[in-house]
Each structure stands twice: as C-alpha cells, then as structure tokens.
Chains A and B, each alone.
Chain A
Amino acid sequence: NAGVTQTPKFQVLKTGQSMTLQCAQDMNHEYMSWYRQDPGMGLRLIHYSVGAGITDQGEVPNGYNVSRSTTEDFPLRLLSAAPSQTSVYFCASRGGFHYGYTFGSGTRLTVV
C-alpha cells in the first residue's frame, strides 16, 4: 500500500538510551518531515528534508539527528533519550510545497 510507514508503533526507553525511529515512503516524494505532537502543543517540526542528502532543522531539533541517504527513507535518531522526549512522533512526506502531507501512523515513545 502506498504511503508512509513508521516503525516501531510503541517504544519505551530508559533515560540516556539511544534509538532510531524508522520512516519510509513509497510515493517518490522529495519532501519529508518529522513532527512531535504533545498535548496542548500541536505539531512541532523537528527536522525536514527536501531531497536525498539535504536536511534542515525545524523548531525543536535539539536531541535529534536525521539523515536522508535515499528518497524513500528518513530515520530519526534520538541521541540520549530524556523524559522531555516522551511524545508521539509523526513522519510525513509530500510531493512539493503546494501539496498536502501524507502522515505515517505515528510512534508513541515513552522515556522513563
């Protein structure tokens, strides 16, 4: 099925652990983004990419790294997990500026 696939769906980490959230899309979209969603805060952009090899920081990039080696994949790395990173993470892709985003189903992350 065409779309954005995120794994895992749920994850519990201990403070200080690192992990990678996976995101893959099969629509040949150039634009991909990572958002976090917290109650009362709406969606906040973490990192963004306009194509393979090109990434940029969003509103809340600290504690996260990304890379874009292929058009399809855009993994998000948590370097040293903190309780403040407890959130729901969404990956999204779109075909260009005047297109809507297709969102993945999300990863619910808890850091204890």
Chain B
Amino acid sequence: SQQGEEDPQALSIQEGENATMNCSYKTSINNLQWYRQNSGRGLVHLILIRSNEREKHSGRLRVTLDTSKKSSSLLITASRAADTASYFCATGSYSGGGADGLTFGKGTHLIIQP
C-alpha cells in the first residue's frame, strides 16, 4: 500500500532553475525521507526529517515538513544535468506502513534540460 504520493509525477526544467517536488501522506508519521534514483541504479538516501522538525537543509537541498497539512516538499536549487533522476518520498511510522514502518511513494521523474 502507498502512503506518500509525490506530485508532480514528472517535471522538466532548465538547468540552473529550481525544482520543487511535493509529497502528501494520509496518516501520522514519525519521519519522512527523500531518496534519489538514477536510471538503472539503486536508491540513494538524500535527507530525513523527523515529525517534530519543520525544515532541513543539505547542500542544494531543502526539505520542509508540514504535519498539519500532511505534506512535505523537496527543493533543489540551481539544478544541474546530474540532478536528472527519479525522486521518492518515504514515510516512516512506528504504527503503520510496511512491516519495517517505511512506505515509499511512486516517485517524481525530474529532467534537467541543458
């Protein structure tokens, strides 16, 4: 079963622009994570934000979490061609989700045009 749903499903922007992806979820969570997957590769963990945090930064990445709206956003600033990938949010819940408490969305496919 899917909890997190990313929006949009696909996004195409020019190199140098900022990219914003959103994730919505239905039930309460304890943390939310974002992952990147390049074509044909495994997922790479980008950032984890706990339910009591509102914003986290890591390099060109900024993640926000609004538990009242049950939503999160991932902002990639000054995009580069190498950022072309699929991005997944995953919600962590002690009481729900998969057996390991983590449920992945279906992803946003980001294309950076040179």
Q: Which A positions have Cβ atoms within 8 angstroms of B?
A: 4, 31, 33, 35, 40-43, 45, 47-48, 50, 56-59, 90, 92, 97-106
In the bound complex, residues from chain B placing their C-beta under 8 Å from that of A58 are 98-100
The A contact surface, by secondary structure, is: strand
Most chain B CB neighbours (cut-off 10 Å) among A33, A57, A101: A101
Chain A residues closer than 8 Å to B69, beta-carbon distance: none
Contacts of A90 in B (CB 8 A): 42-43
Does A59 contact B44, Cβ atoms closer than 8 Å? no
Report the bound CA distance from A97 to B96 in whole Å.
13
Q: How many A-B residue pairs have CB under 8 A?
A: 70
Complex: A87 Cα to B45 Cα, angstroms: 21
Q: Please measure, in the bound complex, the distance between the C-alpha atom of A36 and the C-alpha atom of B80, giving whole angstroms.
A: 29
> Chain A contacts of B94 at CB under 8 A?
97
Residue numbers in A under 8 Å from B48 (CB-CB):
98-100
User: Which residues from A are CB-within-8-Å of B35?
Assistant: 100-101
Query: How many angstroms from the CA of A95 to the CA of B43 in the assembled complex?
Result: 16
Stretch of B12-20, B59-67, B71-79, B101-109 that contacts chain A = B101-109
| Residue B87 lies at the interface, judged by CB distance under 8 Å to chain A | no
CB B98 to nearest CB in A, in angstroms, measures: 4
B108 CB to nearest A CB, Å: 11
Q: Is the CB of B107 within 8 A of A45?
A: no
B99–A56 CB distance below 8 A = yes
Q: Report if B68 contacts A (CB, 8 A).
A: no
Distance to closest chain B CB from A30 (angstroms): 11
User: Known contacts being A97-B94, A100-B45, is A57 close to B106, with CB within 8 Å?
Assistant: no
